[in-house]
Amino acid sequence: MKPKIAGYALRLPASLKEEAEGLAAKQGSSLNQFIISALAEKVARLGGADKDNKAAGEPDARSEKDEVASEDA
């Protein structure tokens, strides 16, 4: 069974798209697959970091940023 695929129109700077296309070509993959892979890596890294911080009793990064922003206001 194939996984469900959701579409999303992505707007990004032309220079970033060109660089990503070049990196994808070097890997022998499509731009779409390159973006999916890069996003999956980022989500795994950030998702794992949030879980680790919560398990250790530390506030997550969003809470710290919100505190700094409210102090600056």
User: For the segment 4-26, what is each residue's pLDDT rounded down to a tens digit?
Assistant: 999 999 999 999 999 999 999 99
8 Å CB contact between 30 and 24: yes
Mean pLDDT of 28-39: 96
Q: What percent of the chain has pLDDT over 90?
A: 60
Q: Which stretch of DSSP H or E encloses residue 13?
A: none
Neighbours of 67 (CB within 10 A): 11
In Å, what is the CA distance from 55 to each residue of 51, 63, 67? 6, 15, 20
What's residue 49's pLDDT?
57
42 HSE (CA, 13 A, CB side)? 6
Token pair 């794992």: residue:
48
